[in-house]
């Protein structure tokens, strides 16, 4: 199934997106951090035969979309998603979000529930796991040293310390990000969205791989308990991209969930 990529201006940025299907209820898919719309297309292509029209954008800073001019927060991305709905004249949609896209879903489902019929969040980010004590102590020592160097105006030494610490202990996503996107990553990952999850007013189905090492299953179980109307589907043997590991099953269950009447 062809999925031509076109461009439109959204939130002041040139955004790449693909639209699959010519009619039916609208589904918007939001990809994960460091990914792009190409990784969502296999699932989109599976949903179209069920009778949906699926919209898949590249989020700003990813794929073929423009970068933000300054560091964004997760709320900036959520507002961009709302503008994307408006730009494409979609009042109410189904939402599918993977990882970072799920993080956006938590905010959208809490603060803009009227725009979404139901949400399917896959291996969603947004729940912060407290670091091990050893890591907390290491970070505390790093921050103390960095602030001490800055206090005595040893900026070059402070920069070298920051670079060394980031190269040694930074996550792969942090290392891969550059410029404004690295600043954006720091802003995004440091916000715990569990309070938003508790306010989600959209029926939500969570999908999780039991071998997910990026957002462990325990986070999905906590989201299931926290979101007022949520269920959890666990794919055995699947990882962080569990929807790709179980593509046909995920599409089938999403379609069944979307078609069910809300209680």
In the predicted model, is pLDDT for residue 139 greater than 60? no
Q: What is the mean pLDDT of residues 56-83?
A: 95
Q: Are residues 10 and 83 in the same domain?
A: yes
What is the number of other CB atoms lying within 10 angstroms of the CB of residue 61? 20
Number of structural domains (the chain) is 2
Answer with the one of 142, 160, 179 that is the final residue of a domain: 179
In the predicted model, is pLDDT for residue 131 greater than 60? no
Q: Are residues 147 and 225 in the same domain?
A: no
What is the number of other CB atoms lying within 10 angstroms of the CB of residue 37? 24
In the predicted model, is pLDDT for residue 261 greater than 90? no
Q: Which of 129-133, 184-188, 259-263 has the highest mean pLDDT?
A: 184-188
Give the pLDDT band (50/70/90) at residue 126. Answer: very high
Per-residue confidence (pLDDT) for residue 177, from 0 to 100: 65
In the predicted model, is pLDDT for residue 41 greater than 90? yes
Per-residue confidence (pLDDT) for residue 157, from 0 to 100: 73
Q: Which two tokens stand for residue 162?
A: 């920051």
Q: CA 256, 2, 118: angle at the middle one, nearest 5? A: 25
Distances (CA, A) of 223 to 51, 57, 220, 229: 29, 25, 5, 10
Rounded to whole angstroms, the Cα distance separating 262 from 257 reads: 9
Mean pLDDT across the chain, nearest whole number? 89
Q: Are residues 118 and 200 in the same domain?
A: yes
In a domain, 185, yes or no: no
In a domain, 184, yes or no: no
Q: What is the mean pLDDT of residues 170-176?
A: 57
Q: What is the mean pLDDT of residues 243-252?
A: 97
Q: Are residues 86 and 165 in the same domain?
A: no
Per-residue confidence (pLDDT) for residue 80, from 0 to 100: 96
Q: What is the mean pLDDT of residues 192-201?
A: 96
Q: What is the mean pLDDT of residues 77-94?
A: 97
Distances (CA, A) of 243 to 45, 173, 175, 206, 220: 13, 20, 25, 11, 14
Q: Which two tokens stand for residue 1?
A: 């199934």
Q: Are residues 73 and 156 in the same domain?
A: no
Q: What is the mean pLDDT of residues 191-203?
A: 95
Q: Are residues 155 and 109 in the same domain?
A: no
Q: Are residues 173 and 234 in the same domain?
A: no
Q: What residue has token string 């040694």?
A: 168
In the predicted model, is pLDDT for residue 158 greater than 90? no
In a domain, 46, yes or no: yes
Per-residue confidence (pLDDT) for residue 3, from 0 to 100: 74
CB-based burial of residue 174 (10 Å sphere; 0-12 exposed, 13-18 middle, 19+ buried)?
middle
Q: Are residues 153 and 37 in the same domain?
A: no
Q: Are residues 141 and 218 in the same domain?
A: no
Chain centroid to CA 212: how far? 15
Q: Are residues 124 and 138 in the same domain?
A: no
C-alpha neighbours within 13 Å on the C-beta side of residue 74: 26
Rounded to whole angstroms, the Cα distance separating 40 from 244 reads: 9
In a domain, 141, yes or no: yes
Per-residue confidence (pLDDT) for residue 186, from 0 to 100: 81
Give the pLDDT band (50/70/90) at residue 190. Answer: confident
Q: Higher-confidence residue: 160 or 125?
A: 125
Task: Specify the range with the lowest mean pLDDT, choosing from 36-50, 73-87, 118-132, 221-235.
Answer: 118-132
Per-residue confidence (pLDDT) for residue 39, from 0 to 100: 95
Q: Are residues 99 and 205 in the same domain?
A: yes
Q: What is the DSSP string of the chain?
A: ----EEEEEETTEEEEEEEE-SSSSEEEEE--TT--GGGTHHHHHHHGGGT-EEEEEPPTTSTTSPPPSSPPPHHHHHHHHHHHHHHTT-SSEEEEEETHHHHHHHHHHHH-GGGEEEEEEES----PPPPPHHHHHHHHHHHHHHHHHHHTT-HHHHHHHHHHHHHHH--HHHHH--HHHHHHHHHHHT---HHHHTT--S-EEEEEETT-SSS-HHHHHHHHHHSSSEEEEEETT--TTHHHHTHHHHHHHHHHHHHSPP-
Domain that holds residue 102: 5-128+190-259
Q: Are residues 11 and 102 in the same domain?
A: yes
Per-residue confidence (pLDDT) for residue 147, from 0 to 100: 81
In a domain, 119, yes or no: yes
Task: Specify the range with the lowest mean pLDDT, choosing from 108-112, 149-153, 190-194.
Answer: 149-153
In the predicted model, is pLDDT for residue 169 greater than 70? no
Rounded to whole angstroms, the Cα distance separating 101 from 157 reads: 37
Radius of gyration over alpha carbons of the chain, in Å?
19
Q: For strand 13-20 and strand 116-122, is the pairing parallel, antiparallel, or unpaired?
A: unpaired
Per-residue confidence (pLDDT) for residue 144, from 0 to 100: 67
Answer with the one of 119, 144, 179 that is the final residue of a domain: 179
Q: Higher-confidence residue: 51 or 173?
A: 51
CATH number of the CATH domain containing 61 = 3.40.50.1820
In the predicted model, is pLDDT for residue 191 greater than 90? no
């Amino acid at each position: 199934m062809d999925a031509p990529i076109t461009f439109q201006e959204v939130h002041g940025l040139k955004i790449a997106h693909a639209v699959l299907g010519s009619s039916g209820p609208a589904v918007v898919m939001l990809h994960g951090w460091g990914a792009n719309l190409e990784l969502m297309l296999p699932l989109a292509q599976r949903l179209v035969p069920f009778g949906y029209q699926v919209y898949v954008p590249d989020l700003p800073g990813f794929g073929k979309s423009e970068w933000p001019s300054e560091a964004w927060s997760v709320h900036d991305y959520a507002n961009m998603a709302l503008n994307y709905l408006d730009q494409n004249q979609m009042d109410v949609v189904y939402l599918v979000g993977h990882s970072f896209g799920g993080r956006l879903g938590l905010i959208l489902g809490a603060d803009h529930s009227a725009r979404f019929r139901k949400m399917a969040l896959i291996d969603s980010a947004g729940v912060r796991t407290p670091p091990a004590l050893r890591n907390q102590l290491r970070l505390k020592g790093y921050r103390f040293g960095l602030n001490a160097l800055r206090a005595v105006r040893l900026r070059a030494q402070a920069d070298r310390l920051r670079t060394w610490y980031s190269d040694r202990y930074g996550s792969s996503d942090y290392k891969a990000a550059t410029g404004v996107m690295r600043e954006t990553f720091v802003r995004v990952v440091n916000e715990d969205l569990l309070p938003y999850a508790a306010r989600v007013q959209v029926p939500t189905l969570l999908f999780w791989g039991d071998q997910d090492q990026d957002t462990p299953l325990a986070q999905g179980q906590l989201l299931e308990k926290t979101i007022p109307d949520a269920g959890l589907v666990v794919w055995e043997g699947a990882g962080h991209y569990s929807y790709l590991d179980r593509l046909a099953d995920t599409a089938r269950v999403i379609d069944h969930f979307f078609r069910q009447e809300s209680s």
